[in-house]
């Protein structure tokens, strides 16, 4: 799976929980500015995000920033699905079972993949989930964007939308000299490595 590079979306390494925490904390402290040293919750937030990303086997954890918005976190990964043709059913299920849903829509990515987009605005902030379905294999890319503050939500959601529009679900070709299926695992790879996860 390949993702485009999008200005404003900064991935962090997923090599280990410790390295993920350190990189994320550094990015968050930079955005917080001089008050970062007094913000004891900043490191705790970085630890929590890193642990969740590793527990869920995420392929991407990134900080999303726009000059007119509060920063947001983006986590993405691949999940198995029983029937890739049921995008509409997924949208109805989410709309009927999830509180605080503001909007559920379906669309197609720039490469023609069906995608279900769910937006939720609640007390804990704004959240957008996009499920990009792979019509050729029983899997989907799930991307979740969360902004605790919600200021400038449309700007950060637009950056995430650019990423979703460029998702490429074609299988990666094996590296020259390797047999198909003998390459690296698809999970836990740094999102910086050629945009693949």
Of the pLDDT bands very low, low, confident and very high (cuts 50, 70, 90), residue 82 is confident
pLDDT per position as a tens digit, 163-191: 999 999 987 766 676 555 433 334 433 33
**What is the structure's pLDDT at 189?**
34
Q: pLDDT exceeding 70 applies to what percent of the chain?
A: 78
Task: Name the DSSP class of 172.
Answer: P
Across the range 36-53, mean pLDDT stands at: 87
Task: Report whether 164 contacts 119 (CB < 8 A).
Answer: no
pLDDT greater than 80 at residue 80: yes
Q: What is the pTM of this model?
A: 0.80
State the pLDDT at residue 34.
81
Please report the domains of the chain, with CATH numbers, ordered by start residue.
59-165 (3.40.1000.10)
Identify the weakest region by mean pLDDT among 91-95, 139-143, 168-172: 91-95
Q: Is the pLDDT of residue 102 over 90?
A: no
Please, what is the Cα angle at 66 between 62 and 70, to 5 degrees? 80
pLDDT at 37 over 60: yes
pLDDT bucket at 194, cuts 50 / 70 / 90:
very low
Angstrom distances, CA of residue 130 to CA of 45, 51, 105, 114, 116: 23, 22, 10, 10, 6
């Amino acid at each position: 799976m390949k993702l485009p590079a999008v200005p404003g979306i900064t991935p962090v390494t997923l090599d280990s929980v410790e390295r993920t925490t350190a990189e994320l904390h550094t990015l968050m402290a930079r955005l917080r500015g001089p008050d970062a040293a007094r913000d004891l919750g900043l490191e705790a937030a970085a630890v929590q995000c890193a642990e969740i990303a590793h527990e869920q086997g995420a392929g991407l954890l990134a900080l999303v920033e726009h000059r007119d918005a509060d920063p947001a976190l983006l986590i993405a990964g691949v999940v198995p699905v029983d029937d890739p043709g049921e995008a509409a059913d997924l949208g109805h299920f989410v709309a009927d079972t999830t509180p605080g849903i503001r909007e559920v829509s379906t669309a197609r990515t720039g490469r023609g993949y069906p995608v279900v987009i769910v937006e939720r605005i609640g007390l804990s902030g704004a959240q957008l989930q996009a499920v990009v379905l792979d019509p050729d294999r029983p899997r989907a890319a799930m991307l979740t964007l969360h902004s605790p503050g919600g200021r400038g939500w449309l700007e950060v959601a637009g950056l995430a939308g650019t990423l979703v529009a460029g998702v490429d679900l074609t299988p990666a070709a094996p590296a020259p000299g390797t047999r198909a299926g003998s390459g690296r695992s698809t999970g836990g790879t740094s999102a910086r490595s050629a945009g693949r996860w």
